[in-house]
Amino acid sequence: MIRAARADDVDRVVALEAATQDEDAWSENLVRDGITGGLPTISYLVAEVDGEVAGYAVASYAGDIAELQRIGVDETARRRGLATALLDAVVVAAPATGANRLLLEVREDNAGALAFYAARGFVEIDRRPRYYRDGATAVVMRRPLLKGCGY
């Protein structure tokens, strides 16, 4: 089940953030602010498996652009379609915010993530050298959300 994150999800999302984002993980305060409404352009979704939060997605919305900031799934819950379900929920929600395209960044050395997003309609539009803390380059990808926006 995919649903909006709630304040009582903060600890679990923080733990997933640390486990899935390594040295690029966001702080507990930043996650808490995003989930509890302190960052009005940010939306957190969670995926539950057997009543437990097993994954999350973070998207930001500004004007006609939605940006997928994060998708993280617990290692024990991978390969069950949770990342796809979370991404689909972001794609469905974004047009209601006024967004006509969805952007994201992926490490250029993350072949699995690049293939995952390409299989779901994302195309590379740019690269950001030294984007990550360790100096890795980010691949910027885009997916249209509405007809007439590259669809």
Question: What superfamily does domain 2-102 belong to in CATH?
Answer: Gcn5-related N-acetyltransferase (GNAT) (3.40.630.30)
Question: 93-130 pLDDT, tens per residue?
Answer: 999 999 999 999 999 999 999 999 999 999 999 999 99
58 forms beta bridges with: 44, 70
Instruction: For residues 137 and 108, give the distance between their C-alpha atoms in angstroms, rounded to a whole number.
Output: 6
- Tell me what pLDDT residue 151 has: 46
Span 70-74, average pLDDT: 95
Query: Phi first, then psi: what are they for 60, rounded to 5°?
Result: -120, 150
What percent of the chain is predicted at pLDDT more than 90?
A: 90
Report how far apart the first and last C-alpha atoms of the chain are (Å, whole number). 28
- Tell me what pLDDT residue 31 has: 97
Domain spans of the chain? Answer: 2-102
pTM: 0.90
Axis-axis angle for helices 28-36, 10-21 (nearest 10): 130
Question: 13-65 pLDDT, tens per residue?
Answer: 999 999 999 888 999 999 999 999 999 999 999 999 999 999 999 999 999 99
Q: How confident is the model at residue 143 (pLDDT cuts 50, 70, 90)?
A: very high
